[in-house]
Amino acid sequence: MVKVGVAGYGVIGQRLADGVARQKDMELVGVADVAPTLPVRALAEKGMPYKLFTAVPEKRNLLDDVGIPVSGTLEELVQEVDIMLDATNAGVGAKNKEIYQKYNTKAVFQGGEKNNVADVFFHGYANYEKGIGADYLKLTSCNTTGLIRAIDAIDRAVGVVKTAITIIRRVADPGDYHRGLTNALQVAEAPNHQALDLMTIMPHVDATGILIHTPVTHGHIITPVVTTKKKMHKEELLEIFKAHPRIRVVRLADGFLGNASLFKYARDLGHPRGDMYEIAVWEETIVNSGDDIMFAINIPQEAVVIPENMDAIRAALKMQTSRDEGVAKTNEYLGMKARG
């Protein structure tokens, strides 16, 4: 049984912990954080289903003073595990890497860290093989993760030459206030980092894109225009997407009118926190533009990267040494399946 620890119990960290706990061939040893944040307080109120370790020993009193049980320090957690999933704030993971190296413990970092923190820039479907046996892997951002799922699926079927993307980006996660209250759309400089990151993972694809920040919190929407080696039509693309366990095809006609509809549907399904691991493609948005094809996808930013993190564990620890076997195990334990 592979032993896993999580550093940072925030938006991504708590979902990573839940994801690991669902993997029948992994054991979640514990999670580490600094202070009694709301997720940490909720963990305590739920009866501490996961052991909590203090990430900064000299600040342990912050947890002790409010009666939250502490099982040890981050350094002690690192010594107990085979691999760490680091979901700390950008820059903190690079500092934590010194602890991981000290004890020869592998680690997976999230999209906010700089690429040089890791040996491999990783995506479960697009370049699983590059992560096999690697000591330090870095995941792509939520937008890039979901985008690559769709582009990779098309690329494996007919080959992708280039893509141009527009990202309508939520400005903050639910519950966040650091971006302030706003009534505006903000345009970012092109090309956006998601297009550049896609080309890092899939260097044979020419990608560019524009990003627009929007004052919403539940999900991003991306509209790719894809140039393929062989012209694709709607029905062919629908078959590809419906066969993909991490892509959910939805219809406007069925009431999936936008990002809020998908978030509500995840809650109606009984998913914790309204999490959804799949990206969604709206069937009615798939259209041809000359020889190109375009469509719109929804990125549930809080949970979309969890499957790829599980893939990263499997690759780094050589639990499965082929892409198909690795992602299949992750999908099985997370309950993800094709809906074709």
Closest residue by Cα to residue 124 from 207, 275, 246, 1: 246
CA distance 204 to 288: 22
Cβ distance 143 to 194 under 8 Å? yes
Q: Which amino acid is at 26?
A: M
Per-residue CA distances from 321 to 235, 310, 311 (Å): 33, 14, 11
> Tokens 């040893």 correspond to what residue?
29
In the chain, the amino acid numbered 21 is A
Burial 199-221 (b: 16+ CB within 10 A, else e): bebbeebebebbbebbebbbbbb
User: What is the β-pairing status of strands 247-250 and 220-228?
Assistant: unpaired
Q: CB-based burial of residue 155 (10 Å sphere; 0-12 exposed, 13-18 middle, 19+ buried)?
A: buried
25 is in an annotated binding site: no
- Give me the phi and psi of 47, to 5 degrees please: 95, 20
DSSP 35-83: S--HHHHHHHHTT-SS-EEESSGGGTHHHHTTT-----BHHHHHHH-SE
Measured distance CA(51)–CA(168) in Å, rounded: 38
Closest by CA position to 307, among listed 20, 32, 106: 20
Q: What are the catalytic residues?
A: 142
Instruction: Compute CA distances 220 → 172, 174, 179, 197, 217, whole Å.
Output: 10, 13, 16, 17, 8
Distance of CA 82 to the CA centre of its chain: 21
Binding site residue list for NAD(+): 33
Binding site residue list: 33
